[in-house]
Structure formats: structure tokens, C-alpha cells
Amino acid sequence: MNGQDIPFLNGYPLKLIVPGYFGTYWVKHLSTIEVIDHAFEGHDAWFMTTAYRVPDNDCFCVAPGTAAAKTRPISTLPVRSFITSVLAGGTLPAGRTVELKGIAFDKGAGIRAVDVSVDGGRTWREATLGNDLGRYSFREWRLPVNFVKKGRAILVVRASNREGEVQPLTADWNPGGYRRHAVESTVVTIV
């Protein structure tokens, strides 16, 4: 890692990363491997059968306070995006062009578009995507913005992938809170 042996707490001597999937099933340290001809039923099997599960439906969600009739293990990453060039509570200049930047990613289908709003989601502009570095890479995006009015601005960004999945404006609810990928707001002050 970074030209050095992987540290023990990061999985020394070997680390396997499965692109596009949540890391909840990743065992950190192995001392032995045993091949069996049936489903494992030991302690760690509990996580696969009772925890780290989402409702088994298209939105992986149920109404708040309810339980799903059927569940499945969480697996692939949902489409998600972030603003990385501005901190919440930060300030930006009025009357000058500022380039907003960030990243987007998904389960490997590929990012199709990133839209940015500087007015809390009332209007949207399509950002310019950076190079596509492969199915599981972060996709950079950028958008030049000129803030005319001084005061509070609510920046939001949403991504969509090549399969048509769009980052939702509000979070879908499930008992474990898994796969939360709703659009997030970054409040800044324009001075």
C-alpha cells in the first residue's frame, strides 16, 4: 500500500478488494482456510443470515418503523456523488466564477451524468465529467458557477448511472440504514 507492505491493521500480508460491493463481508484476518461442502453455520454466518440485510424489493426499503417480509444481503453499491471542493459552512465569492468539483461512483455500471444545483435542488445544471478510468473508479466532475447573490446557498449534487439509476433526493428507509445514498446538501455562504 503506497509502496510499502500493507500494515497489519489493514490486512497484512494480503488484502482482497471486490470492486462495486460493500465491504461488510470482508474478513480482515485469516489464520486458516477450510473447504466445506455445505453452507457455513458458525458464528460469522449470523451476519449473512440476520445482519447486513436489506428488504428484498426494488428500493431495498420499507416504511419507517416496519420490518420487511423478506430480506437479502446488501451487495452492490448504489449510485452516489459528493462535492469535494467546498466544505459545509464554507464561504465562496460573489461575482466571480468558482469551479465546483467532486466525485461520483456506482456498482460498476458507469456514471452517465452528474447534475449540480446551487439553489437547494430547485434548478439543475449538468456538470462536465472527467475521464472514465474504468468501471469501478471514482468519476470526477466539475462545474463552473458564478454566484450573483450574496447570502446562503445550498449546494446539492446527484449522479445517474448508465443503467438509469438516479441518486434519490430523499433517503429510502430500511431498519439497518444500509445503502443510504440520498443527495446531500452542502450549505455555504456567498460573500
Per-residue HEC secondary structure of 34-50 comes to CCCCCCCCCCCHHHHHC
Q: What is the pLDDT of residue 42?
A: 74
Q: What is the pLDDT of residue 98?
A: 97
The pTM assigned to this predicted structure is 0.82
Q: What is the pLDDT of residue 2?
A: 83
**In this structure, CATH architecture of domain 80-190:** Sandwich (2.60)
Distance, CA of 56 to chain centre? 20
CA atoms within 13 A on the CB side of 114: 27
**Spans of the chain below 50 pLDDT:** none
Q: What is the pLDDT of residue 41?
A: 78
Neighbours of 20 (CB within 10 A): 14
